Amino acid sequence: MLPAFCKLAVCPHCGGKNEIFQLMSGNTCDAMLWSDMRQIAPMLPRVSPVQKCSFCGHYFYLREAKFENGNTYSSELGWLMFEEAVEAYSELYDTEISNLELLTMIVVWAFNDKIRHSEIEAEPEHLDLLREIIVKSLGQPIFIGNPLFRSEMYREIGEFDKCLAILNDYTPEDDFQAKIKDMMIAKAHNKESRVFLVE
Ligand SMILES: [Zn+2]
């Protein structure tokens, strides 16, 4: 993995210049794919598509930001803690540039980031918040989303019947998707809601 000088993402709220990690080259060796579709590749770190400004504390989409070139290295990826992801969801939800699928994914990933690498259980208040947000997002007609991701969200909040209904209607496009579908169906039948490693 070869890092490059960081980029500076200019906050659209306050103009603060946030350092963002930038890669010259990397690879997907030892990459892990989780059931919430989050791929974690140690040699190809990804930057969060939603960032919290370190100057004013507001949230912005990285793709909406203007960039300047930095002249230092930075390891800042900007992934949000669960509480921050929930804040970002409410702050960006009603804006014109709202991207509901992306915001929801950020919340789900942040929720799972706390538990995916350990045996610890999620905090009940966090699970309540997650449930509230998933139900709100999936209830919007504009929410389309990948069927595997939609079923996974229902599974993670314990709505196993809804998860299975989506999966039963879903035709995988290849063997890999079929494998994920089968794994999810097995988990849902066992009423297991925890995020799991696909490969
Ligand atoms: Zn700012």
Burial of 47 per CB tally in 10 Å (0-12, 13-18, 19+): middle
What's the 50 CA to ligand 1 centre distance in angstroms? 13
Count of H helices and E strands in the chain?
Answer: 6, 7
What's the 57 CA to ligand 1 centre distance in angstroms? 6
What's the 15 CA to ligand 1 centre distance in angstroms? 6
What's the 18 CA to ligand 1 centre distance in angstroms? 8
Cα 133 to Cα 48, 62, 75, 171, 198: the distances in Å are 19, 22, 30, 27, 24
CA 12/CA 9 separation, integer angstroms: 9
What's the 51 CA to ligand 1 centre distance in angstroms? 10
Helix H or strand E encompassing 39: strand 39-40
pLDDT tens digits for 78-133? 999 999 999 999 999 977 767 899 999 999 999 999 999 998 999 999 999 999 99
> What's the pLDDT band for 140 if we cut at 50, 70, 90?
confident
| Residue 10: strand pairing partners | 17, 66
pLDDT tens digits for 15-52? 999 999 999 898 988 899 999 999 999 899 999 999 99
CA 53/CA 10 separation, integer angstroms: 9
Maximum C-alpha span of the chain: 53
Around ion ligand 1, residues with a beta carbon closer than 5 Å are 11, 13-14, 16, 53, 55-56
What's the 156 CA to ligand 1 centre distance in angstroms? 33
What's the 12 CA to ligand 1 centre distance in angstroms? 7
